[in-house]
Amino acid sequence: MSKMICERVADLPEVSDEPSSDIACFIRRGDESQPHLLVYECHRDFQSVPRTWAVVTLTCPDPDAFMLNTGDEELPEDVGVYRWLESTAATDEAPHHLVLVSRQRAVEVVCAEFSLLERVYHAADAAQAMVQHLRSE
Over the stretch 61-95, which tens digit does the pLDDT of each residue have? 887 777 766 565 678 889 999 999 988 889 999 99
The C-alpha atoms of residue 62 and residue 83 are separated, in whole angstroms, by 18
46 near 17, Cβ under 8 Å? no
Strands 80-84 vs 73-74: parallel, antiparallel or unpaired:
unpaired
Task: Provide the strand spans (E) within the chain.
Answer: 2-3, 6-8, 23-26, 36-41, 52-59, 66-68, 73-74, 80-84, 96-101, 106-111, 113-121
Report percent pLDDT > 70 for the chain: 94
pLDDT of residue 98: 94
Helix, strand, coil content of the chain in percent (nearest 5) = 10, 40, 50
Return all residues near 132 (Cβ < 8 A) that are at least 6 apart: 120, 123
The C-alpha atoms of residue 12 and residue 117 are separated, in whole angstroms, by 10
- Nearest to 109, CA basis, from 57, 74, 71, 72: 57
pLDDT tens figures, 39-67:
999 998 887 788 999 999 999 988 777 77
Residue 3 vs residue 99, higher pLDDT? 99
pLDDT of residue 74: 79
pLDDT of residue 114: 96
pLDDT of residue 64: 74
The whole-model pTM stands at 0.90
Q: How many domains does the chain have?
A: 1
Average pLDDT of span 91-120: 92
pLDDT of residue 81: 96
Question: What residue numbers bound the domain in which 85 lies?
Answer: 2-136
- Please give the order of strands across the beta sheet that includes 113-121: 23-26, 36-41, 52-59, 113-121
